[in-house]
C-alpha cells in the first residue's frame, strides 16, 4: 500500500519545462529506461544483461540483482541513465517461488510448523559458491507460504530481504525438520515494485525493437521499456518545486522551502526519491528530517542528495 503524501504547500508547475514520464519519446525512454526481463534458466546474469544491451543498442546497461544461471524470472535491467536507480532496486525486497526436495518425507502439519518458525529475522551463512564473504548475518523473511506438497517435493513462496539465499534457506528448513533438503528449482517473481505482470522475454524485446526500427511501430517497445520512475515507487518520496530542480542537478541539497509534498511515514535516514510535480524523478537522497520535522520547520536541509537522476538542462535556474 502506497504511503499517503502530506501537503506542505502548493504551487503551479511551469508547463514550458519538463514533461511527465509517459510523454517521453521512445528515444528518451531508451536513454533512461528500465526493462523487466524474464530471465531463462541457463545463461548468467551478465549474459542476459549484455544480450538486452545489444538488442536495444544501449551504450550501458546494468541489473538490479544477480540470479544464478539455473534460476529464472524477474530480472530488472537499467539502460544507460536508467542504471542510476539500480542501487535502490538492489536493496529492495525480493519474492521467489521455490521447489524444494526433502531427503525424507515429512508430515504436512510438521512442515507448516517449521515454515512458521522461519518467518521474521533469521541467521544465514552464504553458500560456499556465493560471491560474498561467508560470515553469519541476519536476513528478514517477510512472508513464507507453503503452496503445495507432493511426496518429498515442497512448493513454497517467500518474500524476503535482499541478500537472502534461498538455497541456504532450503538447507536450513531441512535441518529444522530433522532431515535434509535442497533447492530443486527457483523462480524470482518480484523485485521491489516489478513483478511478472510487466515481464518480457529477450525474444519479445528483440521483436519489439525490430518492429520500431523497421516499421516505426513503437507500441510494443513502449510496453517493454518502462520509465525509470516505475522502479522507485517502493521508496519514500518528496515532491519538489520547479525552482528547486536546477540547483539539485548541480549538486545542491534539498532544503525545506523546496518541498511541496512528502511521504507521511518518512523517517530520518530513509532512502527516498524526489520527484517534480509532473512525476519526473529528480534524485535519490537520504532524509535528514522526518515527516513531523518537515511540517514544523520553515528552513534547513531536509534531504541529502545522493544520486541525480535528471538532466541539468530540463529546468532553468529560477531567480529568487
For the record, the C-alpha cell of 180 comes out as 535434509
52 and 179 co-located in one domain: no
Is residue 83 a part of any domain in this protein? yes
Is residue 318 a part of any domain in this protein? no
97, β-bridge pairs:
157, 187
Query: How many structural domains is the chain composed of?
Result: 3
The predicted-structure confidence for 175-227, as pLDDT tens digits, reads as follows 999 999 999 999 999 999 999 999 999 999 999 999 999 999 999 999 999 99
73 and 152 co-located in one domain: no
For residue 137, what pLDDT is reported?
Answer: 87
CA distance 99 to 294: 47
Split at pLDDT 50, 70, 90, the class of 1 is very low
Mean residue pLDDT of the chain comes to 94
The predicted-structure confidence for 24-59, as pLDDT tens digits, reads as follows 999 999 999 999 999 999 999 999 999 999 999 999
The predicted-structure confidence for 103-137, as pLDDT tens digits, reads as follows 999 999 999 999 999 999 999 887 666 555 767 88
Q: Which residues are catalytic?
A: 68
CA distance 162 to 140: 9
For residue 6, what pLDDT is reported?
Answer: 93
Closest CA to 261 of 287, 291, 233: 291
81 and 200 co-located in one domain: yes
304 and 235 co-located in one domain: yes
pLDDT > 90: percent of the chain: 92
79 and 157 co-located in one domain: no
For residue 132, what pLDDT is reported?
Answer: 59
The predicted-structure confidence for 85-103, as pLDDT tens digits, reads as follows 999 999 999 999 999 999 9
- Give residue 168's domain range: 94-191
Is residue 104 a part of any domain in this protein? yes
The CATH number covering residue 120 comes to 3.30.70.3190
CA distances from 237 to 22, 229, 253, 276 (A): 19, 11, 15, 11
For residue 126, what pLDDT is reported?
Answer: 72
Amino acid at each position: 500500500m502506497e504511503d499517503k503524501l502530506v501537503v506542505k504547500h502548493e504551487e503551479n508547475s511551469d508547463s514550458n519545462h519538463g514533461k511527465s514520464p509517459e510523454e517521453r519519446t521512445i528515444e528518451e525512454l531508451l536513454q533512461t529506461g528500465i526493462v523487466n526481463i524474464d530471465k531463462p534458466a541457463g545463461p548468467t546474469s551478465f549474459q542476459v544483461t549484455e544480450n538486452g544491451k545489444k538488442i536495444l543498442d544501449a551504450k550501458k546497461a546494468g541489473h538490479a540483482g544477480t540470479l544464478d544461471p539455473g534460476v529464472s524470472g524477474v530480472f530488472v535491467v537499467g539502460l544507460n541513465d536508467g542504471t542510476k536507480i539500480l542501487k535502490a532496486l538492489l536493496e529492495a525486497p525480493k519474492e521467489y517461488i521455490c521447489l524444494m526436495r526433502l531427503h525424507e518425507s515429512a508430515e504436512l502439519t510438521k512442515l507448516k510448523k517449521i515454515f512458521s518458525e522461519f518467518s521474521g529475522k533469521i541467521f544465514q551463512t552464504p553458500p560456499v559458491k556465493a560471491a560474498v564473504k561467508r560470515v553469519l548475518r541476519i536476513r528478514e523473511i517477510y512472508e513464507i507460504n507453503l503452496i503445495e506438497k507432493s511426496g518429498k517435493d515442497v512448493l513454497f513462496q517467500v518474500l524476503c530481504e535482499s541478500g537472502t539465499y534461498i538455497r541456504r534457506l532450503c538447507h536450513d528448513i531441512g535441518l529444522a525438520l530433522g532431515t535434509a533438503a535442497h533447492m530443486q528449482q527457483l523462480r524470482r517473481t518480484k523485485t521491489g515494485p516489478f513483478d511478472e505482470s510487466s515481464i518480457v522475454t529477450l525474444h519479445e524485446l528483440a521483436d519489439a525493437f525490430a518492429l520500431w526500427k523497421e516499421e516505426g511501430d513503437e507500441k510494443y517497445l513502449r510496453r517493454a521499456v518502462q520509465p525509470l520512475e516505475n522502479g522507485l515507487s517502493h521508496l519514500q518520496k518528496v515532491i519538489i518545486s520547479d525552482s528547486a530542480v536546477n540547483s539539485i542537478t548541480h549538486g545542491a541539497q534539498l532544503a525545506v522551502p523546496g518541498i511541496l509534498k512528502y511521504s507521511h511515514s518518512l523517517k530520518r535516514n530513509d532512502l527516498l526519491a524526489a520527484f517534480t510535480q509532473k512525476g519526473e524523478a529528480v534524485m535519490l537522497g537520504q532524509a535528514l528530517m522526518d515527516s513531523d520535522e518537515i511540517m514544523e520547520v520553515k528552513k534547513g536541509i531536509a534531504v541529502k542528495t545522493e544520486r541525480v537522476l535528471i538532466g541539468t538542462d530540463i529546468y532553468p535556474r529560477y531567480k529568487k
